[in-house]
Amino acid sequence: MNRKILNIAIPNIISNITIPLLGIVDLALVGHLESKVYIGAIAIGSMIFNFIYWGFSFLRMGTSGFAAQSYGKKDFRESFYILYRALFVGFIGAIFLLIVQKPIDLLSFFILNGSDEVEFFAQQYFYIRIWAAPATIALYSISGWYIGMQNAKIPMIIAITVNLLNLGFNILFIKVFGMKSDGVALGTVLAQYLGLIIGLIFLSKNSKRLKKYLLFKEILQKNALKKFLNVNKDIFIRTICLVFALSFFTAKSAKYGDTLLAVNTLLLQFFMIYAHIVDGFAYAGEALAGKYFGARDKSNLIKLTKFLFYWGLILSGIFSIVYYFGDNLLLKILTNNAEVIQNIQAYLFWVYLIPVLTFGAFIWDGIFIGVTASASMRNAMLISTFLIFLPSYFLLHHYYHNHGLWAAFLIFMLARFITLSIYATKAIFKKI
């Protein structure tokens, strides 16, 4: 079982770690410019796209779960229909985003409260990066399909290539052409489209099956499409709640001023690094739990769950220790702004708690997605967001300000683990 987990987890960890590393390099590039407003602009601009793209990440997760179950059933014909359905839904969504980009801009900056200078550069960032939508969303479907088909190496190759290209473009635009946060956005757009081309090249190796199963009557079959959309609707609601919590965190940080916005943005990189690494085991949960659920193999599903939590616990301990001894080294890489570094010291202890208090939620997410127990996952997230996170913030913020914001966020992540644990027996194991 360990070998099966690691065969999927390790390639995903390698590909996932390039994402926060790219974010760190982006912040390091703008963090060493002449003003801290560029850090805030990247934070707010990225937050908007967290809402947009993480909202559409249901396509990756839903596609992964359905493809894994079809793999477990050895129904490869249906697996190709799943890929086409995901690409179809994603294409419609991407076109919609391009059409409504102006209303998204107006609503986003009406809600957010950054300084005028930060908002100016964040808007510039937004109107460039929005054009990456078709490529980004299509890559969600392609990567999710390959993971569900127990192939983590191709998504790894695509992700690493995209992020290396993104890194190269960002350095070129900022260091050579003298661009600012707009250079980061343009680099992302170019890298995403090149990544999509790579993904389509890999898919072309299955060209015979792709042509054979390109049957619109089957792809758009009413009941199958309805089931696909219902599961993805629940995952979408779950994801929007997660992005809402992170965006709420950034929005409240912005109210403390540009300095604390920069502080919290930099500290969130510790969360992002750990999240993307432990997500490698969550992806293994998606692929293997879906496979065992599709094959009706309850004993291996239970065994998988235990092993995934063992790995998550070990990983959380390692990262807490690494963060404790290596926090200031990472911060020096991110910025040389003396004011930001001075203010950040008071909040570092929250970073040490991140791995231990958050790993359980990530592991359960992977298992729930794999077995497409989306309704329970949605309900757990709604409870954690609106009955736990928001009340915790308004209570703790009143007395502890930014410390209260951090406490509420980690309570939210712990609540997700607890609620998913409660739902797991009925939503997963009693269904086999």
Domain boundaries, position 414: 2-431
Displacement of CA 283 from its chain's centroid (Å):
12
pLDDT digits (tens, 9 = 90+) for 374-422: 899 999 999 999 999 999 999 998 888 889 999 999 999 999 999 999 9
Q: What mean pLDDT comes out for the span 109-123? A: 74
The Cα 237–Cα 58 span in angstroms is 9
Whole-number pLDDT of residue 24: 63
Radius of gyration of the chain (CA): 21
Residue 206 has pLDDT above 90, yes or no: no
CA distance 164 to 239: 26
Domain count, the chain: 1
Q: In this structure, how many other beta carbons lie within 10 angstroms of the beta carbon of residue 430?
A: 9
- pTM across the whole model: 0.80
Cα gap 355→340, rounded to integer Å: 24
Asked whether the beta carbons of 343 and 390 are under 8 A apart, the reply is: no
